[in-house]
Amino acid sequence: MNIPEELSYSSEHEWVAIKDDIATIGITEYAQGELGDIVFVELPKSGSSTTQMQPFGTIEAVKAVSDLYAPLSGEIIEVNTKLEEQPELINQSPYKEGWIIRLKIKEEAELQKLLSAEDYRAQIS
């Protein structure tokens, strides 16, 4: 199971890569494996806001439909529009091409609530 050490994680299986005050967010390899073949992603609008641990969209797979939960509060500054035509990018490359949103972090203190790779690995094992 690929769980990159440099990322942070939510208990709802989202990963977070932080550069300055911008967070790139997607779902983990574990989550996409549990969902199976992803066929649709409901993406939020750029400029909308997220609240930590509240849904910001949905992901639909052959097996199920699941909410996507924001690991951090902030303003969405970019969505991965490639997923509209190619939702399978999340299955093929969950940590690179399959990212879902980028947001400007609102509350830096929320970073303390995220899991390390080690903690996330313990949660799913």
What are the boundaries of each domain within the chain? 8-110
Q: What is the pLDDT of residue 63?
A: 84
**CA 55 to centroid of chain Cα atoms:** 11
- Check: CATH 2.40.50.100 for 8-110? yes
SS3 of 49, please? strand
Residue for token pair 């992603």: 41
Q: Could you tell me the end-to-end alpha-carbon distance of the chain, in angstroms, rounded to an integer?
A: 10
- Going by the DSSP 8-state scheme, the letter that residue 33 receives in this structure is H
**Cα–Cα distance measured from residue 87 to residue 81, given in angstroms and rounded to the nearest whole number:** 10
pLDDT of 65 above 90? yes
**Cα–Cα distance measured from residue 53 to residue 113, given in angstroms and rounded to the nearest whole number:** 10
pLDDT band at 95 (very low <50, low <70, confident <90, very high): very high
Phi–psi pair at 118, nearest 5 degrees: -65, -45
Q: Where are the alpha helices (DSSP H) in 36-116?
A: 82-85, 89-92
- pTM value is 0.96
Region 44-67 average pLDDT: 95
Nearest to 16 by CA among 89, 100, 122, 75: 100
